[in-house]
Copies of this chain bind each other. A is one copy, B any other.
Amino acid sequence: MQRAAVLVRRGSCPRASGPWGRSHSSAAAEASAALKVRPERSPRDRILTLESMNPQVKAVEYAVRGPIVLKAGEIEMELQRGIKKPFTEVIRANIGDAHAMGQQPITFLRQVMALCTYPNLLNSPSFPEDAKKRARRILQACGGNSLGSYSASQGVNCIREDVAAFITRRDGVPADPDNIYLTTGASDGISTILKLLVSGGGKSRTGVMIPIPQYPLYSAVISELDAVQVNYYLDEENCWALNVDELRRALRQAKDHCDPKVLCIINPGNPTGQVQSRKCIEDVIHFAWEEKLFLLADEVYQDNVYSPDCRFHSFKKVLYQMGHEYSSNVELASFHSTSKGYMGECGYRGGYMEVINLHPEIKGQLVKLLSVRLCPPVSGQAAMDIVVNPPEPGEESFEQFSREKEFVLGNLAKKAKLTEDLFNQVPGIQCNPLQGAMYAFPRILIPAKAVEAAQSHKMAPDMFYCMKLLEETGICVVPGSGFGQREGTYHFRMTILPPVEKLKTVLHKVKDFHLKFLEQYS
């Protein structure tokens, strides 16, 4: 009997009961209805229920893996069961997951990782010497020469040294391994530093300034920590530029109800793809210095810059170039990751954080906090090492590495341009240049009748749009409401990761869908 009860549960989809925020999907509603059929005990008999749970966790929203992605999963299962649709596959353009879209791993990185994993291979003639050299170096820094040992909580020493050397080369400004903390992806670093920063109650509760549109990790962590989210709007009319006057406005208004202490910047922008100019970064740093704000610089897309007139400038570099008064005062944490760039190694959860001007006592607190989780995955740390310490000219693997890197970045640049051009040919779609990162975030016209239809389904208008796009074309993108946008404007975020030919098909399908949608609701 118990067995039967368990088996009944299998087919159901308990995840779809609507925890993802305001925009419920019909999929979620259906699944929720399905749940009620099962002889489930009533919620009041449980200790842990929606009513009794942590209200801050309940308030968390995370659109990138929200109801639209659950729906995509359901559709995939329907296709597998042979149910006919107007398409044969779901294309997951909702998340920056390069390998899942067919991008091949960088050979050198995987060779070093395999050697570290199974050191018997160090004797194999089929691995290049430079990969072996890197693997030996990493293993020598691991307890018992094994990736299976815990590392120091701050990360493996020699990898932190390699990160510091990388930053020094990149910026022409010295970096100190003591300031480097290896992390479980960039998300982990960002939430850890925010965890340290949040305090106070009522009007003195910590306010955290974030761009709108934002990457929803920020709003989620702010909610989890019960901090106050302070929105500053990026300027869509001006290629999503960051405007210091807008920062000033947001700060001034926030001071009425919280204590704004943190300013988060995403550069290159996610979901917006803009690359900040050096001048703009200087202005932001000056603003943070003036207003005593702790700066978080999310720079995970630093290798993903496509526009020929744009260049990535790190906050760290600009901070140091602005002189001693700034470089010895402004508190900055910047973040990088193995997941983006040209390597796209999301699954290893590798990343680092560099902190500048962190008080020595706080560094102690940070290491203590990190120690509770023991250490970031050591395999992810090893992957980070290869990202910051790739083959050099003259080394055996250099040529292949360069070719692979160039192939990925060259293609991304092509696809960025292609996407911008094609979207801008569609009436009712406006797309800023994709200067960097790996997403398009076009503005879409949603006719009044469609807005009404969405409201009758209790959905945000752009969720309604994206749900229909998914159901009619199999293309999964994330509604702008999941990132934040100016009232009355609508967008979606789509990755440009599918291979060129597939991306062209996707773009044409979106175009056709959009025109049909406009017609249907005009």
Contacts and interface: CB of A to CB of B under 8 A. Distances in A.
Contact of A151 (B50, B347, B368): B347
A369 interface: yes
A187 B374 contact: yes
Total copies of this chain within the assembly: 2
A361 B50 contact: yes
A100 interface: yes
Interface string A273-287: 000000000000000
A49 interface: yes
B360 A184 contact: no
Given A60-B368, A346-B374, A48 B362 contact: yes
B19 A379 contact: no
Nearest to A356: B6
24 contacts: A9-B176, A10-B176, A15-B154, A19-B361, A19-B365, A19-B367, A35-B360, A40-B360, A46-B359, A48-B197, A50-B362, A53-B365, A54-B199, A57-B369, A60-B368, A66-B368, A66-B371, A100-B149, A101-B144, A151-B347, A184-B373, A348-B377, A377-B377, A379-B380
Given A46-B357, A100-B143, A216-B372, 14 more contacts: A20-B368, A46-B362, A48-B196, A52-B199, A53-B365, A54-B197, A58-B365, A60-B368, A105-B146, A105-B148, A110-B117, A148-B346, A348-B379, A377-B377
Interface of A: 1-3, 5-7, 9-10, 12, 14-20, 35, 40-41, 43, 45-50, 52-55, 57-58, 60, 62, 64-66, 95, 97-103, 105, 110-111, 113-114, 117-118, 121, 124, 126, 142-144, 146-151, 153-154, 173-178, 184-185, 187-188, 191, 195-199, 216-217, 220-221, 224, 261, 292-294, 320, 324, 327-329, 331, 343-349, 357-365, 367-369, 371-380
